[in-house]
Structure 1
Amino acid sequence: MQKSWKRMLRFGISGMLAIALLAGQAGLAAAQAVNTIHFTGYFDKQLRAQLAVSADSFPVVNVRLVKQDEPDTVYYDVGTSILISKDEVLTNYHVVQDFAELSKGDEGILTVASPGQLDKPVKAKIIKTDPVTDMALLKLDKEIDAQPVTFANAKDNQIVYTIGFPKNSAGELVLLDEGFPSTYNTIAKSRVFNSQDSDVPGKKGIGSIVKSVAQGNSGGPVLDQNNRVIGMMTFVYGGRTYFITSKTLQSFIKESATPAKKQVVVAGKVAN
C-alpha cells in the first residue's frame, strides 16, 4: 500500500456545471446485501432487497494517473457507471476526462468493477466520448457478471431512485468490512422535477430531479420503480440535479455501434 501522502482524490470535472458528484465505492465478494447499502428516504423491506441486487448493474469506474511532472503522486478519479452489455458501460465524460486527455509520457490505468466484486477490477478502454453531453462509452477486457440494464422514458413527478458510491479518499477498490463503514453504497429516493428540462444554457437532452440524491453519483443511474434506467446523473445546477435522458443515452450507444462511413473520392471531390 502506498503512503497516504502519495494519494489524492482528483476531481476530473469538465466545466462549471459538473460539480462534486464523484464517487467512491463499496461492496461484497458476492451480490449486494441490504445491510451494505445506506438508504435515504423510506424503503420497505421488499424494495430494499430488490434495489440491493439491482446495484450490481452499476459498476465502479476507477482511474489511476501518474503525471510526468509529478511522478511521486498517484491521482484517482472514481465514479459510477451503467452496464449496457456484459462488457460495456456508460459513464460521465468528466469521470474519465483526465485519462482521455493524458499528455505524452504520462501513465494511466482505467478499470471497472462490479459492486459485488470490487476485488476483481476489469481493465477498460474508451470507445467513444461526447464532452458536450458529458458521456463516455467504455469497453471492458472481459465480461462482468451482472445483468445489463433496460431503458425507459422519464415522466414528470414520477418517483425515482439514484445509486451512488460515497467518496473513498484513497481511490481504491476495497471490500466492505467493519473498518470501512463510510464506504456504504447509497440509494436515494426522489422525484422527477422536469423530464425535458431546457433551463440550462447550452444543454439539451436533459431532465432534472429534486436535489435529494445519493452522494457520489457521477455516471450513475436514475431508476424508475421497475428498475429501468430513465437517465444518467451528470451535474447539479440552480438547486436541482440534472440527468442525461435515456433517449440521449440510447442515441449515443446506437451511434457508437454504427461503423464510421468511409470517405469516397469521386472526380476530385469527397463524398460521404
Structure 2
Amino acid sequence: MKSDDAEPTVPNPATADPNGGLPTSAESPAGAGTGVPDGPPLTALTPPPPGAGTAPLQTPGSDAAYRQSNGGRSTTQRSFGRPEPQQASFRPVYPGQAWPTEQPQYRPAYLPPPPADWHQQQARSYTAEPQGLNRIVTIAALVALVIGLIAGAGAATAVVAFDGDDAPIAQQPEPPVGNGADPKIRPGSVSSVAASLLPSVVQLKVEGEDNSDATGSGFVIDDVGHILTNNHVVAAAAKGGSIQVVTNDNKTATARLVGRSPAYDLAVVQVTGLDAKSVQFGRSDQAIVGQDVVAIGSPLGLAGTVTSGIISAKNRPVTTGDDPTQASSYISALQTDAAINPGNSGGPLVDMNGRVIGVNSAIASVRGSSEGQSGSIGLGFAIPIDQARRTAQQLIATGRASYPVIGASVDMTFEGGARVSAVSPNSPAARSGLRVGDVITAVNNEPVDSAEVLIVSIRTHQPGEAVRLAFERGGRSQTVTLTLAQQIG
C-alpha cells in the first residue's frame, strides 16, 4: 500500500508501455474497458503521466456502415477530398473555397482591375480611344454632310437640266394672283361699318377772309345735301370765305354755311346736288360704357380714315373751342378711346350697327404740349347725337339754335360747387329766389362740383323743362324748382 502523501512514481518514457500503461483487452480485469489505468485515481489536480495521448488511436472495427454505394463519390461535402479524375484541375483562389460541382456554361471574360488613379480618370474606359480618331470621325461626318447637300442640289439641277434637250431652263410660272375668292365682310365688323359709312363722310377745307384756314370732317344727314359738322371747323368762314367739300370718291364741291351754334359747337353746311347717301341716326342715351364704336374722318388731312375703340365713359363735362379765353361750348360728351386727331372734328362716331351716336369734337391733350403737337392719347370726346339732332334741326329750320339757361352767372374759379355771382332780373333764377353767394350743389340729384358741370348739366335739357336745384346758403341746404329759359347761340 502506498500512502496518499507519497511521491508519485514517474515511469520511464523509454520503457513505458506503448499503450500508455493501459491494459489490453486480454489483460483487463473486471473493470476492463473503462480506459482507466491501474493505480490511484486521477483527480483534477493530478497531471497526466508523461507521454499520455501520444500513442495512435486503435484501428476501429469494420467501416462498411460508413461507406456509400454510389461508386465512392460523396453526395455531400463535395469540398472534401481530391477532384474526380474526369474533372479539370481546380486551383482554389482563397483557402477553403468549395470545389465546383460543374463547370459554368458561360465563363465571363476576365477584366483587369481598374487603374490606381481611377478616381482621377472619372469616366474614361480601361482602354481609351485615341483622340485623333474622334477628330477624324467628326471631320469626316461634316464633309459627308456638305457633300450630301451639294450632291442633292446637283441632282435636282441635273433632273431639270438633262430632261429633254439642251434648251435654256424656262422659269416656272408663278401661281395666279387675284383670282381667289374675295374676302367676306362680316356683318357688325369694323369693315362692314366702314363700307356703309365712308360714302356718307366728307372732308371739309375752310378758308377765311383773314387768311385763316381749317380742315375737318362732316357727314350727310339728309337727302338734300345737308352736312353736320363742328362749329370750330367752319367758324373761319362765318364772316366770309369758302368751304370746300371733298367726298369719299374724291369729288369736290363748294358748300354754303346754313347755321352754327357756338354753345354746342355744332354747324350745318349744304352742298346742292351732292351725290352721297345720308347716315342713319342712333340714340346716344342708349349707349353703354364698353360698347364698340368706330370713328371716321380726316385726321391730319388724311381723308377716309377709320379707327375703332369703345365708349370709355359717358356724360363727361367737356369745354371746347379754339380760343381758351372764349370757351363757350359746353357738352356732356361721350368719351372714347378710338383714335381721334385734329381733322376728325365733325366726323361721325358710329356703333357697330352703322348708326351715328355722336359727333367727334375734341381730344384731351397732355399738359405742357404746345399748339400743333397734340395728338390722340386715347381720350376723345363726341357730342351725343340726341343733342346734335335737335340743334341741327333748329339750324336747318331757322339758321340759329337755342340752348337752355337759368338766368344766373356763376364763378368759374370756385370749386366745390357752382357759386352764383350774378342773377338776371326776371330770370328763372330770380323768380325761384336764388341769390348771389348761393352755391348750387346738384341738378336733379346729380352732383355739381364746379361751374362747368352746372352749365353742362343745364344744357343737356331743353328750354321749357323744369329742373330741381339743390344749393347751400349760410351753411344750410335748400332746394328749388325752376323752368329753364332759352337763349340763342
Global fold match (TM > 0.5): yes
Tell me, which stretches of 5 or more residues in structure 2 are unaligned? 1-183, 320-326, 366-376, 401-489
Report the counterpart of residue 294 of structure 2 in structure 1.
161
Report the counterpart of residue 237 of structure 2 in structure 1.
99
1:150 shift after superposition? 2.2
CA distance in 2, matches of 1:166, 1:258: 30
Larger Rg: 2
Residues 40-88 of structure 1, C-alpha deviations (whole Å, 9 max, x = no match): xxxx853325413421111111223453xxxxxx654221102101310
Write 1 or 2 for the structure with the bigger share of strand.
Answer: 1
CA 1:191–1:127: 2 relative to 1, 3 Å: same
CA distance in 2, matches of 1:165, 1:207: 20
CA distance in 2, matches of 1:258, 1:58: 23
1:158 shift after superposition? 0.8
1:258 shift after superposition? 4.1
8 Å contact kept, 1:232–1:245: yes
CA distance in 1, matches of 2:364, 2:194: 27
CA 1:260–1:186: 2 relative to 1, 3 Å: closer
1:251 shift after superposition? 1.1
Report the counterpart of residue 383 of structure 2 in structure 1.
244
Counterpart code for 1:98: A
Helix, strand or coil for the counterpart of 1:226? coil
1:195 shift after superposition? 2.5
Helix, strand or coil for the counterpart of 2:236? helix
8 Å contact kept, 1:190–1:213: no
Residues 221-264 of structure 1, C-alpha deviations (whole Å, 9 max, x = no match): 11000010010011112662111001111110222344599xxx
Q: How many residues align?
A: 191
CA distance in 1, matches of 2:197, 2:252: 19
Helix, strand or coil for the counterpart of 1:167? helix
CA distance in 2, matches of 1:64, 1:97: 10
The reply on whether 1:232 has 2:350 as its aligned counterpart is no
Report the counterpart of residue 64 of structure 1 in structure 2.
207
Tell me, which stretches of 5 or more residues in structure 1 are unaligned? 1-43, 68-73, 103-107, 169-182, 262-272
> Given the alignment, which residue of 266, 274, 281 partners 1:135?
266
Report the counterpart of residue 31 of structure 1 in structure 2.
none
Give 1:155-194 correspondences, 5 Å limit.
Answer: 155-168=288-301, 183=302, 185-194=304-313
Counterpart code for 2:200: S
Helix, strand or coil for the counterpart of 2:289? coil
Residues 77-117 of structure 1, C-alpha deviations (whole Å, 9 max, x = no match): 22110210131001111111111144xxxxx221223212x
1:165 shift after superposition? 1.7
RMSD, matched Cα: 2.8
Residues 124-153 of structure 1, C-alpha deviations (whole Å, 9 max, x = no match): 111111112211011222233323332322
TM-score of the aligned structures, taking structure 2 as reference length: 0.36
8 Å contact kept, 2:260–2:266: yes
CA distance in 2, matches of 1:137, 1:166: 20
CA 1:51–1:214: 2 relative to 1, 3 Å: farther
8 Å contact kept, 2:362–2:381: yes
More divergent stretch after superposition (232-241 vs 220-229):
232-241
8 Å contact kept, 1:189–1:213: no
CA distance in 2, matches of 1:253, 1:144: 21
1:203 shift after superposition? 2.4
Report the counterpart of residue 206 of structure 1 in structure 2.
333
- Aligned-pair identity in percent equals 20
CA 1:199–1:99: 2 relative to 1, 3 Å: closer
Report the counterpart of residue 218 of structure 1 in structure 2.
345
8 Å contact kept, 2:317–2:333: yes
8 Å contact kept, 1:162–1:222: yes
* Higher RCO structure, 1 or 2 (CA under 8 Å, sep 6+): 1
Counterpart code for 1:110: I
CA distance in 2, matches of 1:94, 1:259: 20
